[in-house]
């Protein structure tokens, strides 16, 4: 599949790199990836499984990652200050990233879509549902949370991932990714080092921007608690989480499902902060069932 570029999308008028799969007349399913993670993390086989269930799948790079616009002229964020409540160095927030995503739908001529977001992608998907409800047919939030700092906490041992210096070579990027997945991945499922190394190498080749990752992380912290706004949603919703998630405690998924009226909560034993291949069939079943339920309303 050839990567295409949607030029000047959303209020920020940035470029978004994307790929489309399946019949363009089929129900559109937009895959939104998380912090520091490019669209290729939605594995081709996972995408193909969704297409085989009759969906038109779109994946894309968020701003500051992959082949989409990198906000290189933005101020350098002071992450510690943002965490403490000083948002003056935050270049953008989740509402801006939601605006990018809706702008991509505009560029593709899609009036509304089913949204599937993983980690920060779940935050973005939730924000779209809150701020642009007419554009959302259904919402799937995977290993995500509500923005309430009392839930979905980071495990102490995972803080090391944020303290590490930027990598300098492709080999370093691969080694860093392997170590990260060993730390925060799914202990209940087989670890696939070849898949992780391949994705890390290709991601490094596409684009590596350590400052962009910090800007994305700052956007998450700067966006606050969505709980009360989630309570007002009227959208078919699915929340997926793992019992062993060290990046976002299971309480984040439980809080998300509790906030969205009628949301279905599915928790997998042994799943961490990744998308283990062994669970792809279950993910596909749950997502397509939600799509069918939403489109039948």
Write down the pLDDT at residue 278: 98
Higher-confidence residue: 236 or 222?
A: 236
Residue 254 has pLDDT above 80, yes or no: yes
Write down the pLDDT at residue 1: 67
* CA gap 244, 250 in Å, rounded: 8
Q: How many domains does the chain have?
A: 1
Residue 255 has pLDDT above 90, yes or no: yes
Q: What is the pLDDT of residues 272-282, one digit of tens each?
A: 999 999 999 99
- Res. 6 pLDDT band, cuts 50 70 90: very high
Residue 182 has pLDDT above 90, yes or no: yes
Residue 270 has pLDDT above 80, yes or no: yes
- Res. 89 pLDDT band, cuts 50 70 90: confident
Write down the pLDDT at residue 80: 79
Residue 83 has pLDDT above 80, yes or no: no
Write down the pLDDT at residue 185: 98
> pTM to 2 decimals?
0.97
Kindly state the average pLDDT of the residues 19-44.
98
Kindly state the average pLDDT of the residues 160-186.
94
Mean pLDDT estimate for the chain:
96
CATH number at residue 39: 3.40.50.1820
DSSP readout, 69-133?
PP-TTSPPP-HHHHHTT--TT----HHHHHHHHHHHHHHTT-S-EEEEEETHHHHHHHHHHHH-G
* CA gap 39, 52 in Å, rounded: 19
Kindly state the average pLDDT of the residues 168-192.
97
Kindly state the average pLDDT of the residues 73-94.
85
Q: How far is CA 25 from CA 55, 56, 108, 292, 295, in A?
A: 9, 7, 12, 15, 14
Kindly state the average pLDDT of the residues 46-70.
98
Instruction: State the burial class of residue 92 (Cβ atoms within 10 Å of its Cβ: 0-12, 13-18, 19+).
Output: buried
Lowest mean pLDDT, pick from 93-97, 161-165, 228-232, 235-239: 161-165
Kindly state the average pLDDT of the residues 101-114.
98
Task: Give the residue numbers spanning the domain of 149.
Answer: 4-295
């Amino acid at each position: 599949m050839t990567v295409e570029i949607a030029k000047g999308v959303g209020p920020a008028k940035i470029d978004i790199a994307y790929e489309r799969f399946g019949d363009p007349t089929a129900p559109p399913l937009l895959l939104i990836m998380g912090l520091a993670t490019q669209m290729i993390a939605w594995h081709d086989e996972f995408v193909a499984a969704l297409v085989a269930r009759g969906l038109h799948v779109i994946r894309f790079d968020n701003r500051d990652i992959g082949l989409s616009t990198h906000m290189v002229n933005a101020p350098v964020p002071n992450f510690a200050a943002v965490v403490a409540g000083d948002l003056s160095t935050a270049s953008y927030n989740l509402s801006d990233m939601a605006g990018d995503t809706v702008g991509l739908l505009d560029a593709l001529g899609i009036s509304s879509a089913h949204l599937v977001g993983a980690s920060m992608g779940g935050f973005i998907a939730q924000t779209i549902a809150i701020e642009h409800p007419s554009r959302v047919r259904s919402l799937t939030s995977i290993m995500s949370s509500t923005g309430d700092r009392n839930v979905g906490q980071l495990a102490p041992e995972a803080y090391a991932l944020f303290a590490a210096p930027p990598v300098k070579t492709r080999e370093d990027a691969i080694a860093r990714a392997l170590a990260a997945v060993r730390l925060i991945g799914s202990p209940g499922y087989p670890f696939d080092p070849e898949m992780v190394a391949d994705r890390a190498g290709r991601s490094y080749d596409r684009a590596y921007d350590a400052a962009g990752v910090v800007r994305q992380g700052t956007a998450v912290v700067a966006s606050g608690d969505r709980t009360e706004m989630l309570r007002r949603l009227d959208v078919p919703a699915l929340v997926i989480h793992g019992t062993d998630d060290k990046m976002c405690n299971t309480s984040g998924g439980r809080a998300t499902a509790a906030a969205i009226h009628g949301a279905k909560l599915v928790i997998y034993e042994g799943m961490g902060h990744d998308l283990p291949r062994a669970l792809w069939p279950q993910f596909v079943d749950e997502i397509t069932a939600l799509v069918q339920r939403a489109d039948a309303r």
